[in-house]
Every structure is written in C-alpha cells, then in structure tokens.
Amino acid sequence: MAESITVVGGNKKDKYSSLIPQIKALVEGETDVIANLSNIMAALKQGIGFLWVGVYFVKGNELVLGPFQGPVACTRIKSGKGVCGTAWKEKKILIVPDVDQFPGHIACSGDSRSEIVLPVFNKGGEVVMILDVDSDKLNDFDETDKAFLQEVIGIIEQIV
C-alpha cells in the first residue's frame, strides 16, 4: 500500500482526479475491510477536506457506524430515517443542499449544512453499506462529487 497521499491544489475536480488513483494504491494488496475503509475515509478527509466522511454498515434493520473521520456521530440509524436511512431504503444516491430542509434529517453535528449519501451494493444488488459525506457549507455537493464518489464506491464494492 501507499504510505502517504499528496493532493494537488486547484478545483475539486483536480483534487478528486489526483486522489482516486492514490485511494486505489492505498488498498492494493490489503484484504482487511476495516483497515481499507479506514484509510479510504482518511484519504477523503485529508484530500478533499470534508467536515465528516464515513460509512454505516447495514446490520439487520439498522445502519451501524463504521470507519469515519470527523466529529463523533450517531451510532445507529433505522431504515428510512434521516438522509442515510432514506438512501438505504430507496437504494439511491441523495444530495441534500440544505440539511435543515430535509424532513427527519439526523443532526449528528450541528455544523453539518449539506451532504451527499451513496449506497454500496453487494453482487446481489442489496445495500450493504452507506457512504455519508457532510459539509459545513450549504449546497457544497454537485454532480462532480457524485461522479467521483461513485468511483470511490466502485473501489469499496471491490474490497467488501
């Protein structure tokens, strides 16, 4: 695995473009899921500078907190609850420009203003995990984040 990451300055697209190959290198040759997810979350936080980035695992009828970077967070989320529980139930990517306008948003951190949530699927098409990324700025996520974070989801789907 790579020992460190370096992200070039510039716009978000440049940062993601330089980060994604490094994320691939980070997980290369390592099979432990928690170790790999931990490093992927650290690379995303370090490389792009989100407020909070982490995963929740599907366990029974709940999401349970997994590796993350950022302020402490709620540990369990029911299906259909909050942005994460809704993305899980509806099996789709959600971009929320203003969390205060999302009915039932779970405010783990009072600093969170916008977020993007992406489901991770197994080969059978079931959601096994949720990637949750939060920003302290309103309207901070767009199609660029969606496209590059989908690439990250692709990497995660290879290693779980």
Per-position x/- string for 46-65, each x denoting binding to ligand SME as judged by CB under 6 A, each - no binding: ------x-------------
| Interface region with ligand SME, contact rule CB under 6 A, candidates 38-46, 73-81, 118-126, 136-144 | 73-81
Query: Given candidates 84, 116, 127, 133, which one binds ligand SME under the rule CB under 6 A?
Result: 84
Q: Does 73 bind ligand SME (CB under 6 A)?
A: yes
- According to the binding rule CB under 6 A, does residue 140 interact with ligand SME? no
Distance, CA of 55 to CA of 118 (rounded, Å):
10
The Cβ of residue 155 has, within 10 Å, a number of other Cβ atoms equal to 15
C-alpha pair distances (Å), 32 with each of 28, 75, 108: 11, 22, 28
Which DSSP letter does residue 95 get? E
Q: Does 115 bind ligand SME (CB under 6 A)?
A: yes
| C-alpha distances out from residue 111 to 7, 47, 62, Å | 25, 20, 24
Show the tokens assigned to 49. 């500078």
The secondary element (H helix, E strand) that includes residue 11 is: none
| Closer residue to ligand SME in complex, CB, 10/49 | 49
Give the range of 6-14, 69-77, 140-148, 152-160 binding ligand SME by CB under 6 A. Answer: 69-77
Q: Are 75 and 65 in contact (CB under 8 A)?
A: yes
CA dist., res. 150 & res. 118, Å (int): 8
Which of residues 20, 114, 134, 156 is near ligand SME by CB under 6 A?
A: 134
- Is residue 82 involved in binding ligand SME (CB under 6 A)? yes
Binding site for ligand SME (CB under 6 A): 52, 73-74, 77, 82-84, 105-106, 108, 112, 115, 132, 134
